[in-house]
Amino acid sequence: MPIIINLDVMMAKRKMSLNELSEKVGITLSNLSILKTGKAKAIRFSTLETICKVLDCQPADIIEYVKE
């Protein structure tokens, strides 16, 4: 898939664990893990907004399009 999820990169830059991000964003560990591994089919803008607020980043820092 040409959409790459760089959530793990941003979490590492902010020194934040999956558990901590899950608590701060308010989504389950399993759903966050699905997103982090790129297995999610969709993400709500409200969830993306909250992740960006918590990680102090832009959506483009998390989601990337790569031509195949």
Q: Give pTM, 2 decimals.
A: 0.89
Predicted pLDDT of residue 1: 67
Domain with 36, as residue range(s), is 3-65
9-46 tens-digit pLDDT = 999 999 999 999 999 999 999 999 999 998 999 999 99
Would you say residue 68 has pLDDT above 90?
Answer: no
Question: Torsion-angle region of residue 15: left (phi > 0), alpha (psi -120 to 50) or beta?
Answer: left
Question: How many domains is the chain built from?
Answer: 1
For residue 24, what are its two tokens? Answer: 């701060």
In degrees, rounded to 5, the angle at the alpha carbon of residue 50 between the alpha carbons of residues 45 and 53 is 125
**Cβ contact 6:58 at 8 Å:** no
CATH number for 28: 1.10.260.40
